[in-house]
């Protein structure tokens, strides 16, 4: 599935959990959204069926709401809106330079991976763009290039 698939799956699973609190309160399992299921299985949303009908039609995940909620409940102050390191930490992923280089490879980064500042900025924008492309509702200011 790759690093991006893992990242997307973690975010979309949190979104699915947030939408089903009554199931959790009853002690049952939380049904997985079609978006989260697609992310878990490595299926790109929007490519699941012929004719362009996406896997997650009507199941858009509000990325900002999910990540803001995670940030509120995190003991560290993480700036996911500006930092790929903080975004990865927030969802429980390894945010080391090696992990970010793996994410850069997964997203086909062509720049110098030794220039970590430039790579990190590109990664953050590309992750936001890819989340939106795959069924996430991302604030416009995070998609601006």
Which tens digit of pLDDT belongs to each residue from 110-138?
A: 999 999 999 999 999 999 999 999 999 99
* Weakest mean pLDDT among 68-72, 124-128, 135-139, 140-144: 140-144
Domain boundaries, the chain: 2-133
Find out whether 90 and 74 touch, Cβ atoms under 8 Å. Answer: yes
Angle at 26 between CA 92 and CA 91, to 5 degrees: 10
Kindly state the helix (H) or strand (E) to which residue 97 belongs, with its residue range. helix 97-106
Which tens digit of pLDDT belongs to each residue from 85-106?
A: 999 999 999 999 999 999 999 9
CA separation for the pair 78, 71 (Å, rounded): 6
Alpha-carbon dihedral of residues 7, 10, 12, 16, nearest 10 degrees? Answer: 180
User: For position 60, what pLDDT does the model report?
Assistant: 85
pTM: 0.72
């Amino acid at each position: 599935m790759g690093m991006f698939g893992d990242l997307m799956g973690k975010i979309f699973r949190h979104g699915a959990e947030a939408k089903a609190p009554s199931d959790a309160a009853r002690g049952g399992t939380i049904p997985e959204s079609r978006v989260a299921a697609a992310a878990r299985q490595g299926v790109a949303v929007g490519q699941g069926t012929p004719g362009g009908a996406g896997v997650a039609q009507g199941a858009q995940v509000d990325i900002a709401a999910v990540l803001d909620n995670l940030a509120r409940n995190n003991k560290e102050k993480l700036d996911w809106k500006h930092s790929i390191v903080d975004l990865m930490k927030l969802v429980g992923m390894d945010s080391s330079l090696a992990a970010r280089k793996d994410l850069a490879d997964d997203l086909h980064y062509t720049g110098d991976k030794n220039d970590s500042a430039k790579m990190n900025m590109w990664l953050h924008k590309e992750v936001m763009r890819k989340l939106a492309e795959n069924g996430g509702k991302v604030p416009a200011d995070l998609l601006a290039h």
